[in-house]
Chains A and B, each alone.
Chain A
Amino acid sequence: MEEPGVGLSTGGFIERVAGGDASAVEQCIAEYGGLVWTLARRMSATTADAEDAVQEIFVQLWQQAERYDPKLGSEPGFVTMIARRRLIDRLRKATRRPSPEPLIEAPEAEPEKDYVGIREEAELARRCMDSLKAEERYVLRLALESGLSQSEIADRLGMPLGTVKSHARRGLIKLRERLAGQQPAEPAGETAAVKGGVR
C-alpha cells in the first residue's frame, strides 16, 4: 500500500539536490535548517551534540535526497523523518540523554521567517493527532515532543510499561492511516483493526 501525498506545500529543494543542483543546498538549509536545529536541540544532551547531529543529519539528507518521493509525503516530513532517525540512533548510543523537558532555555525565535511549508504540514498532522484517543495522543506527545523513553513515559503517567507500548503503537498506527487518508477520523469509537494493527 502506498499512501497519497500528505504534504500541502513543497519547495522542490530536495529534488533539486538529488539532481545535483548545488544551489539548492543553501535554499534547503534556509528552509529546513531551523527545523533540523530545533529537533537536534530537543533530542541532544548538549549544544555541541546538537551541532554534530545537525551535520550528520544534513549529510544523510543529501545522500538520501534521491529517495524523496513527493507522492509519499511532504518535504518537511521527509526532512523530519531523516532527522528523527539519526537523532534516535544517536540517543540510543549516548551516555547522556537530553533533559526530559526540552527547550527549558528560552529559544531565540526567528519571527521574521514563517516556514509556511512546515506550518502547513504541522497543522495537518495536528488535526490527525487530535483525532486519536486521549491516552494514545498523550503517550505519543510524550514520546515525540519530550523524547521520553517508554519506561520514562510509564513512570511519568504511572502506567504499566505494556500499556504505554500499546498506546504508543496503536496511536502511531492510527496516525499513519489518517495521514495517508488525509481525512482525520472521528475521535469516538474504536473501529475495526487496522492492517498491521497491534493488540
Chain B
Amino acid sequence: MSDQPQSDLDRLAELLADRALFGLDDAEDRELEGLAQLMSDAERESFDRAAASGQLAAIGVIEPMPAAVAEQVRRDGESMVAGFANPADRVVTRRPASGEGAVFSLREGLAWFVAAASLVFVWFATLDQPAELAELDPIEAVDPSSSSEGPSSEDKPLSVESLRAELLADAEASPGEVVLVEWAPGGDASGAEAEGDVLWSNKRQRGVMRFRGLAANDPTAEQYQLWIFDEAQDDDYPIDGGVFDVPSSEGDVLVEVDAKLPVTGVKLFAVTVEKPGGVVVSSRERLPLLANVSR
C-alpha cells in the first residue's frame, strides 16, 4: 500500500502520545522501537515536552521541597556535577531495548551510596568473611566495547531455564567468558539457609541467578534486589541488577539478572531486601546473599 509509511507514522505518533501521557507496556515499547526511526530524536521528544507543558499548565500551588530531601539532592548533585568537568566522567549509555524512559548513565546508582562514603566497605565490615570479601580482583578482562551495546535482542526469547543452560554451555566451552560463582551468606536471616549460584556473561550481557532455600518473600511487603559491583564502576556506584521475588518452593528458583547498565567485569554480586519495587538509596539493613567473583 502506498500509504503504508503514513500509517506507520500515525501509529508512531499514537505510541509516542501514549508514552508521554500514560507510559507503554513492553509490547508497545517494542513496537515503538520498530517505528522510532521514522522521526528524529527531537520530534519524538516533542511529545514528552508537550505533555510536560500540559502538566505545567495546571501546576497550581507549588510545594516547597522538604529541607532534608533538598539537602540530600544537593549533596548528591554537587558531587556528581563536579565530575562533569572531566568529559571522561560523562558517559551516558542507552539500553537499546528500552524507550526514552530508560536512559542510564554510569552514575545511575549515585544516590545509593553518596551518603555512605563507601557502602561496600561498610557492608564488608559487617561480615564474617573479611579476607574473602577484601579480594575484589576481577575474574576476567573484558573489552568494554563488547558490552557497551547492552543485551542482544536476539537473545531475548530464551526462557530463563534455557538461558541458564546456554550460559552453562558457554562457561564450559569458553570458561573466561562466563562468570559462575556461588552465593555466600550475607548475614540476613532470609539467606541463612540459602545456596545457589549466579551466572553472568559479559558477551551476552545476560545472567541467571539460582537460589535454593532463600526465604520466600511477600511482594506486597518487600522484594529482593540484586546489585552488581563492576570493575568499570566506582565501588560507590554498583549497578542495579533488578528486583525479584522468591516464591514458596522446595526446588531451585531461577531469576534472570536485569542489569540496568552494561557490565564489563563483575567483582561482586549482592542481594538486598528492599521495599516493593526496589530502591535507589538502600538502607542496606538486610543483606541475605553475596557472591564474590575472585580467582
Min Cβ gap A29→B in Å is 6
Q: Is B76 an interface residue (CB 8 A)?
A: yes
Partner of B69, one of A3, A55, A143, A144: A55
Q: Is A60 an interface residue (CB 8 A)?
A: yes
CA distance in complex: A27, B102 (Å): 26
CA distance in complex: A38, B21 (Å): 18
Partner of A94, one of B16, B66, B277: B277
Interface contact A18-B84, CB-CB below 8 Å = yes
Give the residues in chain A near B270, CB-CB below 8 Å: none
**Interface residues on chain B, number (Cβ under 8 Å):** 72
Number of A-B contacts (CB under 8 A): 256
Give the residues in chain B near A36, CB-CB below 8 Å: 65
CA distance in complex: A55, B113 (Å): 12
CA distance in complex: A83, B101 (Å): 10
Partner of B80, one of A21, A62, A85, A103: A62
Q: Is B81 an interface residue (CB 8 A)?
A: yes
List the A residue with the shortest CB-CB distance to B89.
A20
Min Cβ gap A41→B in Å is 6
Q: Is A154 an interface residue (CB 8 A)?
A: no
Q: Is A99 an interface residue (CB 8 A)?
A: no
Interface contact B277-A56, CB-CB below 8 Å = no
Give the residues in chain A near B169, CB-CB below 8 Å: none
Q: Is B107 an interface residue (CB 8 A)?
A: yes
If A41-B63, A110-B64 touch, does A59 touch B80 (CB 8 Å cutoff)? yes
Q: 8 Å CB contacts to A: which residues of B56-91?
A: 56-59, 61-66, 69-70, 72-74, 76-78, 80-86, 90
Interface contact A66-B90, CB-CB below 8 Å = yes
Q: Is A190 an interface residue (CB 8 A)?
A: no
Interface-facing stretch out of B38-46, B130-138, B284-292: B38-46
Q: Is A133 an interface residue (CB 8 A)?
A: no
Q: 8 Å CB contacts to B: which residues of A11-57?
A: 17-22, 24-26, 28-29, 33-39, 41, 51-52, 54-56
Partner of A169, one of B13, B45, B105, B276: B13
Give the residues in chain B near A157, CB-CB below 8 Å: none
Q: Which of B48, B56, B107 has the most CB of A within 10 A?
A: B56
Give the residues in chain A near B50, CB-CB below 8 Å: 172-173, 175-176, 179
Q: Which of A22, A41, A126 has the most CB of B within 10 A?
A: A22
Interface contact B56-A34, CB-CB below 8 Å = no
Give the residues in chain B near A73, CB-CB below 8 Å: 49, 52-53
Q: 8 Å CB contacts to B: which residues of A65-116?
A: 65-66, 69, 72-73, 76-78, 80-81, 83-86, 88-95, 103, 107-110, 113, 115
Interface contact B45-A35, CB-CB below 8 Å = no
List the B residue with the shortest CB-CB distance to A33.
B65
Interface contact B18-A169, CB-CB below 8 Å = yes
List the A residue with the shortest CB-CB distance to B10.
A198
Interface contact B65-A37, CB-CB below 8 Å = yes
CA distance in complex: A33, B89 (Å): 25
Q: Is B263 an interface residue (CB 8 A)?
A: no
Partner of A90, one of B22, B43, B55, B277: B277
Give the residues in chain A near B64, CB-CB below 8 Å: 33-34, 37, 108, 110, 113
CA distance in complex: A139, B51 (Å): 12
If A2-B40, A54-B65 touch, does A26 touch B78 (CB 8 Å cutoff)? yes
Q: Is A124 an interface residue (CB 8 A)?
A: yes
Give the residues in chain B near A95, CB-CB below 8 Å: 219-220, 276-277
Interface contact A20-B83, CB-CB below 8 Å = yes
List the A residue with the shortest CB-CB distance to B7.
A199
Q: Is B47 an interface residue (CB 8 A)?
A: yes
Give the residues in chain B near A54, CB-CB below 8 Å: 65, 69, 73
Partner of A84, one of B14, B42, B51, B63: B51
CA distance in complex: A78, B42 (Å): 12
Interface contact B13-A76, CB-CB below 8 Å = no
Interface contact A22-B9, CB-CB below 8 Å = no
Interface contact A121-B56, CB-CB below 8 Å = yes
If A25-B77, A55-B280, A59-B107 touch, does A197 touch B85 (CB 8 Å cutoff)? no
CA distance in complex: A81, B52 (Å): 5
If A55-B72, A76-B56, A196-B9 touch, does A176 touch B276 (CB 8 Å cutoff)? no
Selected A-B contacts with CB under 8 Å, 13 pairs: A1-B42, A2-B43, A6-B49, A20-B86, A25-B74, A29-B65, A51-B66, A62-B81, A77-B49, A95-B220, A126-B58, A176-B49, A198-B10
